[in-house]
Structure formats: C-alpha cells, structure tokens
C-alpha cells in the first residue's frame, strides 16, 4: 500500500434498510374462514403487483422464526378471529415495538382504537387488501406509520412503568 492511498470508507451502520427482506405482507395466527378469505383477498390484490405474502394460519410460527418474519415484512396484518372482537393489543404492541407498519380491522372498542389511530392503519376487513396495496406502493407511508407505531409503543411502555412505580409501597 502506497503512502498516498486513500483509506477504504467505513462500512455503513446497520439499519433496517439493510435487514434481509421477507414477505412484504405478514399475517400469523389461528386459521378460520374469515382469515382464509382475507388471505385470498390480500393475495389477489398484492401478488399481481409483484409483492409477496406470508399467511401462517397455524400454530407454527414462534421464536426466532416469527421474529425474523416480523422484522422482514413491510406490513403486518391484524385480523380478528371473530367479528367485532377486542383489539389484540398484545399482538399489536409487539409488532409496533419491532417497528412494523400494522394494518388492523377496527375492534369493538372505539375508544381503544382511537388510542392506536395513526400508529395502526385501521380498515374494515373487506378494505384491508386495498389499504395494503396503497401502503406497499408508498414506502414513505409505510415508514411514517412504522415510526408512529414505535413512538406509541415507547409511550405505552413509559405509562406502564409509571403506573408500576405508583403502585409500589413507599
């Protein structure tokens, strides 16, 4: 190496953009007729546009495989097992904390849905495929929803920690 040779640039810092990509759209959960119908509708809407879909309607996506699927997707779906069900906050909070853009059907609790509005894209079950296409075709929208989701997840963790501290005896 000569005296005037330029040093190689440092490698880029790790980022979500460099993470290996999985399916563009992910759903995992127990299967039933309404979720199977959603899968068919999502596939029909997004696959002709070149996007990929992973629906796992079984109990086989756990641990590292589930986390890799979540981290690799662009949009994660939340669809209730029963119509007008409770919002699956345990699932949604986990997805938001991992930086996912989440699309969900509304729940039976409008007040709770309002808390998540903006951090989660809500759409009626039959409208989810069209909303997913809109998002996939606008990477800026996916990133904006994911950023609002991370902010909400952080806020919820802070609220939980504050309530736990209040409950502790002095």
What is the model's pTM? 0.82
Q: Among residues of the chain, what percentage have pLDDT more than 90?
A: 62
Nearest alpha-carbon partner for 73 in 90, 56, 57:
56
Return the pLDDT at 15. 41
CA 157 to chain centre: 17
Q: If you write DSSP's letter for every residue of 67-130 in order, what string do you get?
A: HHHHHH-SEEEE--SSTT----HHHHHHHHHTT-EEEE---S-HHHHHHHBTTEEE--GGGHHH
71-84, pLDDT tens digit by residue? 899 999 999 999 98
For residue range 102-138, what is the model confidence (pLDDT) as tens digits? 999 999 999 999 999 999 999 999 999 999 999 999 9
- What are the Cα distances from residue 24, in Å, to 65, 69, 70, 75, 156? 16, 10, 10, 6, 27
Asked if residue 152 lies in contact with residue 116, where contact means CB atoms within 8 angstroms, the answer is yes
Planar angle of CA 142, 35, 122, nearest 5 degrees: 35
Beta bridge partners of 134: none
Q: Could you tell me which of 86, 144, 156 has the C-alpha nearest to residue 120?
A: 144
pLDDT over threshold 80, residue 14: no
Section 35-46 average pLDDT: 97
Average pLDDT over residues 19-27: 79
Averaged pLDDT score across all residues of the chain: 86
SS3 (DSSP) at 50: coil
């Amino acid at each position: 190496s000569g005296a005037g040779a330029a040093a190689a640039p440092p490698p880029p810092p790790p980022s979500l953009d460099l993470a290996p990509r999985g399916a563009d759209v992910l759903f995992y959960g127990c299967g039933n007729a309404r979720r199977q119908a959603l899968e068919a509708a999502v596939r029909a809407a997004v696959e002709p546009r070149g996007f990929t879909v992973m629906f796992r309607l079984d109990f086989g996506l756990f641990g590292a495989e589930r986390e890799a699927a979540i981290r690799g997707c662009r949009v994660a779906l939340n669809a209730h097992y029963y119509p007008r069900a409770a919002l699956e906050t345990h699932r949604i909070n986990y997805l938001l904390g991992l930086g996912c853009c989440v699309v969900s059907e509304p729940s039976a609790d409008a007040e709770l849905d309002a808390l998540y509005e903006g951090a989660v894209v809500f759409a009626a079950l039959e409208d989810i495929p069209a909303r997913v296409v809109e998002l996939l075709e606008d990477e800026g929208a996916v990133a904006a929803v994911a950023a609002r989701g991370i902010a909400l997840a952080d806020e919820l963790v802070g609220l939980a920690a504050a309530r736990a501290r209040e409950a502790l005896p002095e």
